[in-house]
Amino acid sequence: MNQQEIFEYIKKQYPANPERITQNGKQIIIFKNQRNNIPYAIFYQSDKSVMSIMEVQAESDMISNYIEMYHFAPAKYMNQKHWLAVSMDGTVSDSKVLDMLDMSYDIVDEQEECQRNKKWTVG
């Protein structure tokens, strides 16, 4: 699955307009949850090649497991305690790429729900 196919999936699944920034001459594309403006996916080219990388959020207690089991890498741009990098070079199955993207979106969406519940908590 290439980056453009993932962008099409995001457009259908989670309506969002990507934010594009340039850092050190490289373009970084950020997708944020529309309701709470929290990033759930970041795309960029690796330093060593033209391979695309997708950074996504994951449960912090699972990061090391994902890195070990699926050969993901620690995040480069985001907090490594909560984010990991998924190589888009074909070594990760399409279904796992989409699973990781969906999981990241769900984590961000839950953050919105938690914030809303805190506002209404009495005590």
The per-residue pLDDT for range 16-35, each reduced to its tens digit, is 889 999 988 889 999 999 98
pLDDT score at 53: 92
Flag whether 79 is in a domain.
yes
Coil, strand or helix at 81: coil
pLDDT score at 111: 76
Flag whether 70 is in a domain.
yes
pLDDT score at 113: 57
Flag whether 19 is in a domain.
yes
**What tens digit of pLDDT does each residue of 60-73 get?**
999 999 999 998 99
Are 94 and 88 within 8 A, CB to CB? no
Strands (E), 39-119: 39-45, 52-57, 73-74, 83-87
pLDDT score at 119: 47
Flag whether 35 is in a domain.
yes
The ranges of the chain with pLDDT < 50 are 117-123
Flag whether 63 is in a domain.
yes
Flag whether 117 is in a domain.
no
pLDDT score at 71: 87
pLDDT score at 121: 42
pLDDT score at 122: 43
Domains: count for the chain: 1
pLDDT score at 114: 54
Flag whether 20 is in a domain.
yes
Q: How many Cβ atoms from other residues are within 10 Å of residue 57's Cβ?
A: 25
- Alpha-carbon distance of 94 to 20, in angstroms, equals 24
Flag whether 51 is in a domain.
yes
Q: What is the CATH number of the domain that holds 68?
A: 3.90.1150.30
- Alpha-carbon distance of 44 to 75, in angstroms, equals 11
The residue segments making up the domain with residue 89 are 3-112
Instruction: Name the residue among 93, 89, 27 with its Cα closest to residue 52.
Output: 89
